A and B are shown apart, each in its own frame.
Chain A
Amino acid sequence: MDNHTMTVSAVSPEMDTVDELKLKIEQLQKENAGLRQDLADANIEIEAVVDEFQRTQVEIEQAKKDVERAKEQAERANNVKSAFLASMSHELRTPLNSIINFSKFVAQGVMGPVNDEQREALGEVIDSGKHLLSLINDVLDMSKIEAGALRLFMEDNVNVTTLLESALSTAKSLVADKPVDVTLEIEKTLPLIRADRQRLLQVMLNILSNACKFTEKGSIRIKAHNNDDTVVLSVTDSGPGIAKEDQAAVFEPFKQTDTGLRQGGGTGLGMPISRKLAEAHGGTLWLESQKGEGATFFVAIPVTKPATSPSA
């Protein structure tokens, strides 16, 4: 009210009360008009803000729709990819059935006598066929993972012991006649776990086939124990070991270590796939090794934790 006080004091004392009042009213009217103007300006500003807000909302709605559409498109593309990979798998496997099995029948002498040289050549056809089959499986698995299209089929009450016994018998046949002792050691109180049985077996077979490939003599020890609601599976071999600087490459697709390339002949996809599969179980896969001292691969799977889809 300072303004009013000043205005009043500026008025001459001779002025009569009516004039004074008139003047005051005029002043007040002016101020009122000013306030009205201010209010109108403020209203315009508010309206502008509201407009802006509404425009933003429309834009957000539009963006939401765009995202939704993009998501649908991505899902459609993924379904197409999945269907393509599934049909590729079928189309590639069917001729391999003929290649491998007709060669086996001929090699067995079912179609007449075969000499040693012929049998050996047929053995090469069979081995190459099997190798091709494993490459096809790996490439298709990797494609599925990268497309985000791999799904697990989780079951409750998966018995790790049964699974490892099956892996053990495969490992024994893989070391064949090398002086390698394959053993299985399972903790008695191992709980049943929630897992995709087939995929977990695949992980263990991948690890074991590497161990068998690289271990010329000594031992391969398969173990399983329970550790704080996590079942830890491990495979320890007495092979050449993996140098620290090569260890990361083991889990990168299409990157094999020098030793791997010399001895392996695989795609180098087995371990990257296995790690993704372990992660999809809510678990982890890692290795501990020193050059010249063998290697241990660990797979830790939570006993109850639900799984998610693996991402690329």
Chain B
Amino acid sequence: MSNYPAILYVEDDARSARIMKMLLTGTMNLQHVNIFEESSDFIERVEALSPQPDVIFLDIHVKPYDGFEMLQMLRAHPNYRNVPVVALTASVMNEEVEQLRVAGFDSCFAKPLDIDQFPDRLQRVLNGEVMWYILS
């Protein structure tokens, strides 16, 4: 099991969450994978994580706080200001992607998730690359 990277994923769709879990802990053999199925007490729960996340994936249509609100909370927090935050969403019409970009997400991965490309893309995000190529 690999200790790095520690990953947080916020996703309220149980199937999408399960796919990500199988990919990260199964295929990629990562040890520190946390999934929140809703976003209440979001920052408090992120602060309680050990180890702290190296990268955060956010679904956009989450309650009570949506992806944009969670991003704002993270960016307002000194510990998470520079953690890569990736939108993982099925809303990938151009307008919506532009909103994500303007809001300050570091990257966007489209659903359906390309699980074959995912390990490489994750590495690139961790290296500080910004990826808006959502066509695959």
Which residues of A approach B to under 8 Å, CB–CB?
A: 82, 85-86, 89-91, 93-94, 96-102, 104-105, 108, 110, 129, 133, 140, 144, 150-153, 166, 196-199, 201-202, 205
Contact = CB atoms under 8 A, between A and B. Distances in A.
Contacts of B132: 197-198
B92 interface: yes
Contacts, number: 83
A97 B16 contact: yes
Given A198-B135, A202-B135, A205-B135, A89 B111 contact: no
Contacts of A102: 15, 19
B59 to A, nearest CB: 10
B90 A89 contact: yes
A140 B15 contact: no
11 contacts: A86-B96, A89-B92, A94-B16, A96-B112, A102-B15, A104-B115, A108-B27, A197-B133, A198-B94, A199-B94, A201-B133
Interface of B: 13, 15-16, 19, 22-23, 26-27, 61, 89-98, 101, 110-113, 115-116, 132-135
Given A101-B115, A202-B135, 19 more contacts: A82-B93, A89-B90, A90-B61, A93-B90, A94-B16, A96-B112, A97-B15, A97-B90, A97-B113, A98-B15, A98-B19, A101-B19, A101-B23, A105-B115, A110-B27, A151-B94, A151-B95, A153-B97, A198-B134
B90 A86 contact: no
B113 A101 contact: yes
A94 to B, nearest CB: 5
Per DSSP, chain A at the interface is helix
Q: Closest 8 interchain pairs by CB?
A: A93-B90, A97-B112, A97-B111, A98-B15, A90-B90, A90-B91, A101-B19, A86-B93
A94 B94 contact: no
Contact of A94 (B13, B96, B98, B116): B13
B60 to A, nearest CB: 9
Contacts of B19: 97-98, 101-102, 105
A197 B98 CA distance: 12
